[in-house]
Amino acid sequence: MSNSFPRRRFLQSASAAVLLQSRKAVAAPSDRLRFAMIGVGMQGSGLLGTAIRLPNVECVGAADLYDGRHTLAKEITGNPNLLTTRRYQELLDRKDIDCIIAAVPDFWHKRVVVDACNAGKDIYCEKPMSHTASEGFEMVEAAKKNRRIVQIGSQRVSSALCAKARELYHGGAIGDVTMVELSLGRNSPNGAWQYPPPTDLSSRNLDWDTWLNDTPKIPLNPERFARWRCWKDYGTGVGGDLMVHLISGMLFTLGWNRPPRSASALGGIFRWKDGRDMPDIHAVLFDYDGIPVYVRLGLQTETPELARFMGPKGILDATGSELRHSPQNGVDTSPSYYSGSFPAQMRQEYIRQWHADHPASTGPEPVSQDPTYRGEDWDDLHPHLWNFFQAVRTRKPVAEDAVFGNHAAIACHMANESYFRKKAVFWDQASRSIKS
Ligand SMILES: NC(=O)c1ccc[n+]([C@@H]2O[C@H](COP(=O)([O-])OP(=O)(O)OC[C@H]3O[C@@H](n4cnc5c(N)ncnc54)[C@H](O)[C@@H]3O)[C@@H](O)[C@H]2O)c1
């Protein structure tokens, strides 16, 4: 494992400390927010550990279907008496809980968000917002009807680097965008979601029947419990796992908030033949109102995360923790090489005229620069959680509401539908559905 993870952890602690100090100056005791977790697995444990380090925020309960995660929640909060339960509804029914953070598998998002909104709770729900396109609209409706704050967890929309990308783009850094490329590759069993299941899983400590939600009933399967991303019954593949982050960052940077018009995907299960049904290679071409957005995701070869925005005035490249602006002036600096195909006299006349039209500069040679901006992390969790808690306090809009989260998720569903149907798919706004 590279040493970047511990460094990131250190930076996260440092940033939490800064937030803590800045918050101390303004917070009144009445601002204290009491939240509960639903789902304390891989992501939920990270969210919990981050949230409790934020000022004036307190975890008062945790729900999970696996009892091992009750123990984990108590360990993370340092509170052996933390209220824990298998039934999240118990937490939603409590009047002393202000809001919820949910990190359950994708196929549970809709039910948890709709239940939370109907119970009058604000909720931070992990990405991708939905498991299917139609679910997303039910969630948007539940938030609207109950006037609830819903923040979706593609955290990069709250990162300073993403805000810088947005500022540069809207300041005209590359002109009007004409094409976008998004890519990310992994090359390891962990990267391909072959996670080790908890070693003690049994019907005594896991409510497997409930975990299955409305999917086909099967006997307790530890691999499905830990590696649910591999199957479309539970997850949304590399689309919902990885692409949704890149799409969310792109929508935010460009100021777009809509689904694509169409998606055309290719892919397959090339390497991880472990019984999964989601592709491990997924290449997608989206049409965003005429602008091509090409997305390449793979679990075969490690390639750096990259969001590349291209326009007539240059390129904006956003990598994991860096943003580079490479301006281009888009002009010829010499006569056209096409003139090599002219007879000599014609070529000489063309070149003479070209130089007459483009007099040589008499000053020093031009100096160019490609400014680079570095952030702590393009995918920043602290500010995204903080943005949610502040919205709960102030009732001001969140960075990534249900409408935005829905649009980002629809792109992933279209990518998956195109892959499974083996044909291009289109977004039909009238019926709010994906058509072939
Ligand atoms: N934003 C990010 O960077 C990021 C990173 C990883 C995962 N995620 C998202 O977080 C979510 C969870 O992923 P994970 O890797 O933590 O999964 P996980 O399987 O490790 O954890 C999910 C937990 O939810 C529990 N659970 C399932 N249904 C439940 C229910 N009805 N009530 C209570 N508990 C329930 C499970 O028992 C499990 O402990 C997914 O939607 C995933 O896409 C986001």
Pocket probe for ligand 1: among 66, 88, 126, 380, the residue whose CB has the most ligand atoms within 8 Å is 126
Q: Is 234 near ligand 1, meaning CB less than 6 Å away?
A: no
> Whose CA is closest to atom 21 on ligand 1?
41
Check: CB of residue 67 under 8 Å from CB of residue 208. Answer: no
The two structure tokens encoding residue 257? 């908030």
For residue 370, give the amino acid letter: D
Q: Which pLDDT tens digit goes with each residue over 317-338? A: 999 889 999 999 999 989 999 9
Cα-to-centroid distance, 210 and ligand 1 (Å): 14
Which ligand 1 atom sits closest to the C-alpha of 109?
41
Q: What is the mean pLDDT of residues 351-356?
A: 97
- The C-alpha angle with vertex 172 and arms to 171 and 178, in degrees rounded to 5, equals 135
Q: Indicate the pTM of the whole model.
A: 0.91
pLDDT band at 11 (very low <50, low <70, confident <90, very high): very low
Residues 6+ apart with CB under 8 A from 399: 151, 157, 158, 252, 384, 387
Query: DSSP letter string over 274-309?
Result: SS--S-SEEEEEEEETTEEEEEEEESSS-EEEEEEE
**Residue 29 pLDDT exceeds 80:** no
Q: What's the mean pLDDT when you consider all of the chain?
A: 92
**Residue 18 pLDDT exceeds 70:** no
How far is Cα 385 from Cα 348, in angstroms, rounded to an integer? 66
Cα-to-centroid distance, 39 and ligand 1 (Å): 6
Q: Is 419 near ligand 1, meaning CB less than 6 Å away?
A: no
What is the structure's pLDDT at 13? 38
Please tell me the class of the 160-328+370-378+409-435 domain. alpha beta
How far is Cα 32 from Cα 359, in angstroms, rounded to an integer? 68
Q: What is the mean pLDDT of residues 88-109?
A: 98
Q: Which pLDDT tens digit goes with each residue over 63-94? A: 999 999 999 999 999 999 999 999 999 999 99
Segment among 20-24, 93-97, 259-263, 404-408 with least mean pLDDT: 20-24
What is the structure's pLDDT at 23? 39
Domain ranges of the chain: 4-158+380-405, 160-328+370-378+409-435
What is the structure's pLDDT at 8? 37
116 exposed, middle or buried (CB, 10 Å; 0-12, 13-18, 19+)? buried
**Residue 223 pLDDT exceeds 90:** yes
pLDDT band at 361 (very low <50, low <70, confident <90, very high): confident
Q: What is the mean pLDDT of residues 230-238?
A: 98
Which ligand 1 atom sits closest to the C-alpha of 379?
3
Segment among 2-11, 139-148, 268-277, 380-389 with least mean pLDDT: 2-11
289 exposed, middle or buried (CB, 10 Å; 0-12, 13-18, 19+)? exposed
What is the structure's pLDDT at 16? 40
What is the structure's pLDDT at 362? 81
Helices (runs of H) and strands (runs of E) counted in the chain: 14, 16
R_g of the chain, CA atoms, integer Å? 25
Q: What is the mean pLDDT of residues 410-426?
A: 98
Q: Is 106 near ligand 1, meaning CB less than 6 Å away?
A: yes
Q: What is the mean pLDDT of residues 196-205?
A: 98
pLDDT band at 312 (very low <50, low <70, confident <90, very high): very high
Q: What is the mean pLDDT of residues 197-213?
A: 98
**Residue 253 pLDDT exceeds 50:** yes
Q: What is the mean pLDDT of residues 261-283?
A: 98
Three-state secondary-structure class, residue 364 = coil
Which ligand 1 atom sits closest to the C-alpha of 44?
16
Check: CB of residue 150 under 8 Å from CB of residue 398. Answer: yes
Is the domain covering 4-158+380-405 a CATH 3.40.50.720 domain?
yes
The two structure tokens encoding residue 323? 């943003």
Residues 6+ apart with CB under 8 A from 245: 127, 154, 156, 379
What is the structure's pLDDT at 378? 66
Q: What is the mean pLDDT of residues 302-308?
A: 96
Question: Across the strands, what pairs with 50?
Answer: none
How far is Cα 195 from Cα 398, in angstroms, rounded to an integer? 32
pLDDT band at 44 (very low <50, low <70, confident <90, very high): very high
How far is Cα 157 from Cα 21, in angstroms, rounded to an integer? 23
**Residue 12 pLDDT exceeds 50:** no
Cα-to-centroid distance, 233 and ligand 1 (Å): 15
Cα-to-centroid distance, 132 and ligand 1 (Å): 17
In sequence order, what E strands does 262-389 have?
A: 262-268, 281-288, 291-298, 303-311, 314-318, 322-327, 372-374
> Whose CA is closest to atom 4 on ligand 1?
43
How far is Cα 314 from Cα 327, in angstroms, rounded to an integer? 4
pLDDT band at 31 (very low <50, low <70, confident <90, very high): confident
Is the link from the previous residue into 359 a cis peptide, with omega within 30 of 0? Answer: no
What is the structure's pLDDT at 30? 57
**Residue 228 pLDDT exceeds 70:** yes
Q: Is 153 near ligand 1, meaning CB less than 6 Å away?
A: yes
Q: Is 239 near ligand 1, meaning CB less than 6 Å away?
A: no
Using alpha carbons, list the distances in angstroms from residue 236 to 1, 84, 110, 415.
26, 28, 14, 10
What is the structure's pLDDT at 385? 96
How far is Cα 178 from Cα 152, in angstroms, rounded to an integer? 28
> Whose CA is closest to atom 8 on ligand 1?
43
Check: CB of residue 122 under 8 Å from CB of residue 395. Answer: no
Using alpha carbons, list the distances in angstroms from residue 321 to 297, 324, 378.
19, 10, 5
What is the structure's pLDDT at 24? 39
What is the structure's pLDDT at 17? 39
